[in-house]
């Protein structure tokens, strides 16, 4: 939290704290989860897109279903790069973490 709104003596008014929290909540509410499904194929490339699909998104955690344990392990090693690519393709930081699970791959 920034020092703006601090009164003398280092005390921050409750109004300033609440405004900061509300700004954070509004930013999270403005995330468009559909954006993940729109950018996934471009962000990860055709080979990964054929074997891994977004399944759910909650609080900046993306759950991705993968076709096999081999893909699960491979994508786990690439997780940091995939997060960077998805966020870059989306134009903002919308994903902080990805969890991979073997599961059904819905049609793109």
Tell me what pLDDT residue 38 has.
85
Distance CA 83, CA 94 (A): 9
Spell out, as residue ranges, where the chain has pLDDT lower than 50: 1, 22, 25-30
- Kindly list the domain boundaries of the chain, sorted by start residue: 1-30, 33-102
CATH code of the domain occupying 33-102: 3.30.300.180
Encode pLDDT of 62-93 as tens digits: 999 999 999 999 999 999 999 999 999 999 89
What's the rounded Cα separation, in Å, for the pair 7 and 9? Answer: 6
pTM of the model: 0.68
Q: Which residues pair with 58 in a beta bridge?
A: 61
**Cβ(84)–Cβ(98) under 8 Å?**
no
């Amino acid at each position: 939290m920034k020092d703006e709104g601090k009164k003398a003596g280092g005390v921050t008014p409750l109004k300033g704290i609440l405004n900061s929290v509300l700004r954070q909540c509004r930013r999270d509410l403005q995330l468009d989860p559909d954006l993940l499904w729109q950018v996934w194929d471009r962000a990860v490339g055709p080979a990964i897109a054929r074997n891994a699909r977004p399944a759910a998104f909650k609080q900046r955690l993306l759950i991705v279903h993968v076709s096999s344990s081999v893909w699960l392990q491979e994508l786990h090693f690439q997780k940091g790069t995939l997060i960077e690519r998805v966020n870059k393709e989306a134009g903002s930081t919308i994903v902080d973490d990805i969890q991979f699970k073997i599961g059904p791959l819905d049609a793109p």
